[in-house]
A = this chain, B = another copy of it.
Amino acid sequence: MEGINVKKISEFFKTLGHPVRLTIVLKLLDGKKCVSNLEELIKARQPNISQHLRLLKLNEIVDWKQEGKMRCYFLKNPQVVKEILKLFKRR
């Protein structure tokens, strides 16, 4: 409890604590996707998706790489996301 950065951890959870952001993360479990892919998969507008992606990036949940004219986002650690979701089911 002493060496623990409560602020950082709670921000991490807060980041996952929004339905659109969580949906993005779940979609990315299938593999990397560029913004326009996500736009088709999620009921949200492009600027909104970009805003959420920004937060996911800030919290080190996703990263991206440029591919042609598209920016493709992917999970930094898919395994951790999978296991967190598994734990949720046992909560």
Contact = CB atoms under 8 A, between A and B. Distances in A.
Contact of A6 (B4, B23, B91): B23
A84 B87 contact: yes
Interface of A: 1, 4, 6-7, 9-19, 21-23, 26-27, 29-30, 60-61, 76-77, 80, 83-85, 87-88, 90-91
Copies of this protein in the complex: 2
- The SS class assigned to the A binding surface is helix
Contact of A11 (B12, B17, B84): B17
14 contacts: A1-B26, A1-B27, A9-B85, A10-B16, A11-B17, A13-B14, A13-B22, A14-B17, A15-B17, A60-B91, A80-B87, A84-B84, A84-B87, A87-B87
B19 A16 contact: no
A71 B23 CA distance: 37
